[in-house]
Amino acid sequence: MISTANFRNGAKIEIDGDPFQIVEFQHVKPGKGGAFVRSKLKNLKTGNLLEKTFRSGERLNEPDLSDQEMQFLYAADNEYHFMNTDTYDQLFITEAQVGSAKDLLKENMIVKILFYKGKPLNVDLPLFVTLKITETPPGFKGDTATGGTKLATLETGGVVKVPLYIEEGTLIKIDTRTGDFVERIKE
């Protein structure tokens, strides 16, 4: 059980049989009446946000969550296949469960998969990934003065905005939380 006094950003709680992650919270003590906690929660199954108010001192269940490091093997027929590198057990996850991570998911990449009551919920990529650009329009001399960007297709099929000086075949580092270009990697 977790008390509202122990709420922290990122903490996980269970409400009505669904796992939630606390996005933000605020302890409120009005002049009249009892104290309460106003919170914004993210449903870990659906990804939906929920605003909920709890009485101060209220206790909630902690969800049965675990995460495992797994290796991405391949994708086929809207299913993504992963392997546990310790036990060599394999499982598949639907495209909906993988979500936006599919655009940055490369074969043999090690990821963390979040399980709720033994069933996979979602895929957490490393904070940064290095991918090669397979297609992008050429940059022209003089285009860099404005600091503009262009779209580039990655080896995974995802599309990201990159500076104009980036060319095809270039390795780049991408922040997986935002999907933004970070830097060019020298080979």
pLDDT tens track for 101-154 = 888 888 888 988 888 888 888 888 888 888 888 888 876 665 555 667 888 888
Per the confidence metrics, is the pTM higher than 0.75?
A: no
Q: Does CATH place domain 128-185 in 3.90.199.10?
A: no
| Amino acid at position 128, single letter | F
The domain spans of the chain are 2-60, 65-124, 128-185
Within 8 A by CB and 6+ apart from 65, the residues are 12, 19, 44, 114, 115, 116
Determine contact, residues 149/162, Cβ cutoff 8 Å: yes
Q: Do the two domains 2-60 and 65-124 of this chain adopt the same fold?
A: no
Q: Among the CATH numbers 3.40.190.10, 2.40.50.140, 1.10.1040.10, 1.20.140.10, which is that of 65-124? A: 2.40.50.140
Kindly report, residue by residue over 77-104, the tens digit of the pLDDT. 888 889 988 888 888 888 877 877 888 8
Q: Among the CATH numbers 3.40.640.10, 2.30.30.30, 3.40.30.10, 3.20.20.70, which is that of 2-60? A: 2.30.30.30
